[in-house]
Amino acid sequence: MFDAFKNKHGLGVACFIGFAVFFWALFLIALPQIAMLDYSFRFNLPRADIGGPSDVYTLENYAYFFRGNDGGFNALDVGILFKTLVAAVFVTIIDIMICYPIAYILAHSATGVAARLMVIGLIVPFWVNEILRAFAFRILFGATGMINGIGMEIGLWDTPIDFIRADIALYSGLTYAYILLMVFPIFNAVEALDRNQIEAARDMGASWWRVHWRVVLPIAKPGIASGATMVFMLTAGALAAPQILGGPSNLWFTQLIYQWFNESANWQRGSAYAVILLLVCIGFVTMMMRVFKVSIGEIGR
């Protein structure tokens, strides 16, 4: 593969790309993960004791996730992890429902100026920083925000609804935050579909939903799987949006990790929690790939 790339683009470009990929994979992914994994098996010791006889490997940080301080089942932390995963699945499903028709229209219906305006409309809002977008959603869904203002103005409700406490603002913000990561993988997959197949199905009397179920979705499945994987992983690992938009009773698992690292200064336990989140997310995604019969090669296509 390297030889083919070198013949097409030249030795200099091939070497630069190869070095960049190697540097990115080793120094920005592999080594930090290895360091975090090593930290997760260590005790939280004073600086003077690090490297001494008490600095040994242990499973204490992982055991704490399951049994807590009192030795019983740590229902709080396990429950927060489960709730985070359920919320990530919910956000992913909502993104699929929103982005599939957008991607289909963009690939097979919109043309010329309309297509360009749709792409610009999708991309330009993401020029704004993610934290600023989260605060914008907090203002939008606040007690004196636009949603409550319009709802009370037209008589849908009499008093402001606490969208923050109900986590509606959080789910809306997360759904919007990763919408591009769902739209474009589905668009790339659907764009390859021959329009004649759709027309043939319609000529044979297939209904609208049957055309999509039997013709479009099998082609779009790898794109949906790719987008769903990215949205799920990023939603489960989100921190800024839960911090800004989350209600007081809704704690995200990443907030637990943040607390261990920054508030408790226990990097070892924070690393263990981060590894647990990573492994659970990878295991869940792998299981879903088997359920929907999608290979890693199709996702990376």
> Hey, which bits of the chain come out as E strands?
none
Asked if the structure places residue 41 within a domain, the reply is: no
Q: What pLDDT score does 5 carry?
A: 61
Asked if the structure places residue 39 within a domain, the reply is: no
Is residue 137 within 8 Å of 128, Cβ to Cβ? no
Q: What pLDDT score does 30 carry?
A: 92
Q: Please state the three-class secondary structure of 163-195 as a single string.
A: CCCCCHHHHHHHHHHCCHHHHHHHHHHHHCCCH
Those residues whose C-beta lies under 8 Å from the C-beta of residue 58, and which sit 6 or more positions away, are 41, 42, 43
Asked if the structure places residue 147 within a domain, the reply is: yes
Cβ-based neighbour number of residue 236 at 10 Å: 24
Is residue 184 within 8 Å of 230, Cβ to Cβ? no
* Rounded CA separation 103/82 (Å): 31
Convert the pLDDT of each residue in 32-63 to its tens digit: 999 999 999 999 888 888 888 888 999 999 99
Overall number of domains in the chain: 1
* Rounded CA separation 164/184 (Å): 30
Convert the pLDDT of each residue in 237-276 to its tens digit: 999 999 999 876 778 999 999 999 998 889 999 999 999 9
Which residues partner with 42 through β-bridges?
A: 57
Is residue 148 within 8 Å of 135, Cβ to Cβ? no
Residues lower than pLDDT 50 in the chain: none
* Rounded CA separation 59/67 (Å): 12
User: Which residue shows structure tokens 């990573």?
Assistant: 278
Asked if the structure places residue 111 within a domain, the reply is: yes
> How many CA atoms within 13 Å lie on the side-chain side of 225?
24
Which residues partner with 57 through β-bridges?
A: 42
Q: What pLDDT score does 57 carry?
A: 92
Asked if the structure places residue 293 within a domain, the reply is: yes
Asked if the structure places residue 68 within a domain, the reply is: no
Q: What pLDDT score does 3 carry?
A: 66
In the structure encoding, which two tokens stand for residue 218, read together? 């099998």
Q: What pLDDT score does 23 carry?
A: 92
Provide the CATH number for the domain around residue 262: 1.10.3720.10
Give residue 264's domain range: 75-299
CB contact burial 107-122 (16+ within 10 A = b; e otherwise):
beebeeeeeeebeeeb
Alpha carbon 219 to chain centroid, angstroms = 23
Q: pTM of this prediction?
A: 0.88
Asked if the structure places residue 149 within a domain, the reply is: yes
Asked if the structure places residue 295 within a domain, the reply is: yes
* Rounded CA separation 280/113 (Å): 44
Convert the pLDDT of each residue in 61-79 to its tens digit: 999 999 877 778 889 999 9
Q: What pLDDT score does 292 carry?
A: 76
Is residue 140 within 8 Å of 149, Cβ to Cβ? no
